[in-house]
Chains A and B, each alone.
Chain A
Amino acid sequence: MSNEIFTLHVNGEAQQVRDSWLGENLMDVLRDRLGLMGSKGACEQGECGSCSVLVDGHLVCSCLVMAASAVGQQVVTIEGVAPVGSPSDVQQAFVDFGAVQCGFCTPGLIMAVHGLLERTPDPGDTEIREELAGNICRCTGYGRIIDAVQQVAVARRTDRSGA
């Protein structure tokens, strides 16, 4: 097993990856090599979305991406969304509107919702459901999550019209 050192750009910083084996997936490298434990692994086959991160702005399941293939690309993880203690509007809305129970799916969903609202500032119910259908939540039945997303959309619209 050949180990090589390579560099990933994660949350705006260049990070040297050591002791990784070629072919290791991005999720494991983020968690086990770089100590970024916010991305969660629940299926390791791209079905649940818990490990979602942005690679060059595209939402991906980090368990399905070979870490070495992300060299030269910008990776954003849940740790890069907002500073600790200063949650983003999406993060705060999840807490305020009951979208969090066990919380295991939450980091991946936060990534997906940020991506959704940037592409579609005023998503309808079907758009929210379709865009987030790659993220499984076993606790909430999704209702409070949809409510949280809609609350953020409304708040951002109010901000825009007020500005």
Chain B
Amino acid sequence: MSIIDRTTSTGPRYGALGTSPTRPDGIAKVQGTFEFSSDISADGCLFGATLRSPHPHARIVSIDLSAAWKINGVQAIVTAEDVPGKLTYGLISQDQPVFASDVVRYVGEPVAALAADDPEDARRALDAIEVTYELLPPLLDPELAISGEFDPIHPDGNVIRHQRIVHGDPDATAAIVVEGTYEIGMQDQAFLGLEAALAIPDPGGKGIEMHVATQWLHEDRQQIAACLGFEEDNVRLVLGGVGGAFGAREDISLQVHCSLLALRLGRPVRMAYSRAESFLGHVHRHPAQIWMRHHANADGSIVKIESRMVFDGGAYASTSSAVLINAITLAQGPYRCANAVVDGWAVRTNHLPCGAMRGFGAVQACFAYESQMDKLAAACGVGPFDIRLLNAMTTGDLLITGQPVLNVAPVEECLRETNALPLPDEPVGGHALLDGSMDAMKLPGGAGRTADVGDIVRGIGWGVSIKNLMYSESFDDYATARCRIEGGPDGPTVFLKFATAEVGQGFVTLAPQIARSVLGIDRVELDQIDTQVGSAGSTSASRQTWMSGGAVNAACELVRSLIFEHVAAVHGCPAVDLFIDHTDVVDPTTGRRFDVAEACADVSFDETAVYRHPDTSEIDENGQGNCHTAFAFVAHRAVVDVDPELGLVKVVQIATAQDVGVALNPLSVMGQIEGGIAQGLGMALMEEIIQVDGVIRNGNFTDYLLPTFLDMPPVVAKLIEQPDPLAPLGAKGVGEPPCISSTPAIVAAIRDALAQAGINAPLNRVPVRPGDICL
């Protein structure tokens, strides 16, 4: 894979936008000195731990702490009775108790927390807490939740949200009708850096400082402050090093528990989850069941879609209502569709709570509509590429919400450029080794019980998707950034301050690039990421390049105008005409150039800017309204080798062309593309949280399978660069699209291989298991 090298003599200088400078935290990360939240400690710090429900649904009869208090080293134990402020929290509706007091609603729900001198003391004390439960029947069937026939398991009821979309002529039909029911399993974000935080109480206990790995410092602060009964100003959050996020850190987990213990004791308290606890302690990707029917003309052009989508939100709402809206409003995919009837449900059950994960509702819808596109292609007698090209959306086309897509929408280019990428040169089963034997690592099944090469069939499949960027449905979505410039004897330095959570995606690389391009100054330092500046919003919804990038850009432009005024005053030229070219201020009226560093030798400017995207609307009872902000598109083509007898799959190659607007840092974009595809591959073939009777059965990395080096194929990628005039830097977010349509592309490739082997396997469910293929 070659990265576009734009560092030419005529292109931008190294470190500016369009180049790929190295990460400022890179050396610390490769040397092991970067401090992750789980590495942070403090003198005299105690260790917190959480007691969790073993039952999916039960009434708490009593909690007896007496035996736990007798364990050496136990310093504090807190339950629901000890919560001084709001008793519940949550991102959209505050429906989740800090600690369960009367009823537990999922296996893993926090019941109590304690702090001890040592983690082992804490663990033994947890074991000594005696909770008496009266078991209640669990609600585990989403359809039962919809039916109204199960007593509400929560005061807010068993339906989190129900929304219909009716668009165009609901009675329209056409010559070709295809339908199917699709199922998506529960995926885990599986970031590697486990949940961890350090809470340090202020002297006197009137406030608290928390160092925590999160996606959204200010939202965390708001929820923590409410539960502690504090003003927000008395809660200060500092971003602890974040070991990945992918949505799982958008909701709070241990924040309030850890804070309560620290305040109770007047001492720092550290909490860190184990992997097993992490599976219980954060929300997951919603499992979903989706029925879909397409009506199309004989040539394959879509006339109408119908769908019913049911998302299992688990015990608490989290972002379920927003996830559902993404799914139903994007149900047509990146295709023109004039008529639609869609019915969407997000329901409450006694399963693990679900919320944000990369792709956020678009993933589930995409597996359904892309499976349908292949059915439609087969019914119309056209190929999977052609059916997609025929229906490809473009700028100005309408969503089934009635919203026009105003962004650049290069769906056709994504398809054509993907199609132009070379297919793998490896033969089926891979190249033989030097001694003529097959390379087991290239075979489906790898080094285990591998396939015989003669049985292997190669298939090719397509997936194309649309993703909304930023927040929707009238949310006040903004980001803040501060830019300071200080002159000095060896030239000026730019300092950038923002609360944007760096979770690995590379905003800490991008922000200085923006400053260098706008200001023409190369030396840029980043201030600590904390709540001592306005909110940046969440690192989610592929929004930070656009939003925080927009804010950094705006703050730098304010400083730049002050620099221009300064230069104008010193040199007697009109400030309004000046512009930056590389590291010079240029006066176009005279052609004079002034070195920015020299011009700023003794200046000191400090400006803060807020970037907001244009307002979005609510949707009405028919699901109509301009509820989304912007859209991005991508195409994927998967090549797989399948052993139909053993049901084993080896993904050989993924080709992709992605609508990125502008690649501000091509190397980072490539990292997002490959990393997202790996998560899409996991969803397609191996990743699923299994719950039986409401109990998780595989909450560890031995049983929850993640793609390794051997599972992940080479990715060949093409970046479609059409600057989006609506984006502050012309660039679209790139994080989510790679994991959305890579999943259906892989499944389609398996279906294609099986069809060649004369097997008609529907593969209507992901992850695809060997038994789905060969039994």
**A, B bound:** yes
Partner of A142, one of B22, B192, B193, B709: B709
Residues of A contacting B714 with CB < 8 Å?
143
Contact A94 B193 (CB under 8 A): no
Q: Give complex CA distance A136, B671 in Å.
A: 15
A6 CB → nearest B CB, Å? 18
Contact A126 B274 (CB under 8 A): no
Contact A133 B708 (CB under 8 A): yes
Residues of B contacting A72 with CB < 8 Å?
none
Q: Give complex CA distance A1, B447 in Å.
A: 43
Residues of B contacting A104 with CB < 8 Å?
36, 191-193, 243-244
Question: Is B481 an interface residue, CB under 8 A from the partner?
Answer: no
- Please report the total number of B residues contacting A with Cβ < 8 Å: 62
Partner of B39, one of A37, A91, A144: A37
A125 CB → nearest B CB, Å? 8
Residues of B contacting A44 with CB < 8 Å?
274-275
B398 CB → nearest A CB, Å? 34
Q: Which one, B484-492, B498-506, B719-727, is touching chain A?
A: B498-506
Question: Is A48 an interface residue, CB under 8 A from the partner?
Answer: yes
A53 CB → nearest B CB, Å? 11
Q: Give complex CA distance A1, B192 in Å.
A: 31
B275 CB → nearest A CB, Å? 5
Contact A42 B710 (CB under 8 A): no
Which positions 552-600 of chain B face chain A at CB distance < 8 Å? none
Contact B31 A42 (CB under 8 A): no
Contact B441 A130 (CB under 8 A): yes
Contact B670 A144 (CB under 8 A): yes
Q: State which size class the interface on A falls in.
A: 35 or more
As a 0/1 sequence over residues 31 to 47 of chain A, the CB contacts with chain B under 8 angstroms (1 = contact) are 10000011111111101
Contact A98 B504 (CB under 8 A): no
A98 CB → nearest B CB, Å? 4
Partner of A95, one of B26, B36, B503, B673: B26
Contact B506 A101 (CB under 8 A): yes
Q: Give complex CA distance A110, B32 in Å.
A: 10
Which positions 37-72 of chain A face chain B at CB distance < 8 Å? 37-45, 47-48, 50
Residues of A contacting B192 with CB < 8 Å?
40, 42, 48, 50, 102, 104-105, 136-138
Residues of A contacting B241 with CB < 8 Å?
103
Contact A126 B439 (CB under 8 A): yes
Contact B29 A100 (CB under 8 A): yes
Residues of B contacting A97 with CB < 8 Å?
667
As a 0/1 sequence over residues 231 to 257 of chain B, the CB contacts with chain A under 8 angstroms (1 = contact) are 000000000011110100000000000
Question: Is B405 an interface residue, CB under 8 A from the partner?
Answer: no
A110 CB → nearest B CB, Å? 6
Partner of A40, one of B190, B193, B275, B668: B193
Q: Do A98 and B120 contact each other (CB < 8 Å), given the known contacts A38-B31, A142-B712, A144-B671?
A: no
Q: Give complex CA distance A47, B190 in Å.
A: 13
Q: Give complex CA distance A144, B25 in Å.
A: 17
Q: Give complex CA distance A77, B674 in Å.
A: 29
As a 0/1 sequence over residues 1 to 14 of chain A, the CB contacts with chain B under 8 angstroms (1 = contact) are 10000000000000
Contact A37 B505 (CB under 8 A): no
Question: Is A29 an interface residue, CB under 8 A from the partner?
Answer: no
Question: Is A154 an interface residue, CB under 8 A from the partner?
Answer: no
Contact B700 A45 (CB under 8 A): yes
Residues of B contacting A141 with CB < 8 Å?
671, 673-678, 707, 712, 715
Residues of A contacting B32 with CB < 8 Å?
37-39, 77-79, 106-107, 110
| Nearest opposing residue in chain A for B34, CB measure | A103
Which positions 532-566 of chain B face chain A at CB distance < 8 Å? none
Contact A140 B671 (CB under 8 A): yes
Question: Is B702 an interface residue, CB under 8 A from the partner?
Answer: yes
Contact B503 A102 (CB under 8 A): yes
Residues of A contacting B25 with CB < 8 Å?
103
| Nearest opposing residue in chain A for B712, CB measure | A142
Residues of B contacting A21 with CB < 8 Å?
120
Contact A102 B242 (CB under 8 A): yes
Partner of A101, one of B675, B700, B712: B675
| Nearest opposing residue in chain B for A36, CB measure | B32
**Can you report 9 residue pairs joining A to B where beta carbons are below 8 Å apart?**
A31-B39, A40-B243, A44-B274, A91-B30, A98-B667, A129-B710, A134-B708, A138-B678, A139-B675
13 A-B pairs besides A95-B30, A103-B34, A110-B30 with CB distance below 8 A are: A31-B39, A41-B38, A42-B192, A77-B32, A85-B27, A104-B244, A141-B675, A142-B712, A143-B1, A143-B670, A143-B714, A144-B670, A144-B671
| 6 A-B pairs with least C-beta separation | A38-B32, A102-B504, A103-B29, A141-B674, A104-B243, A95-B26
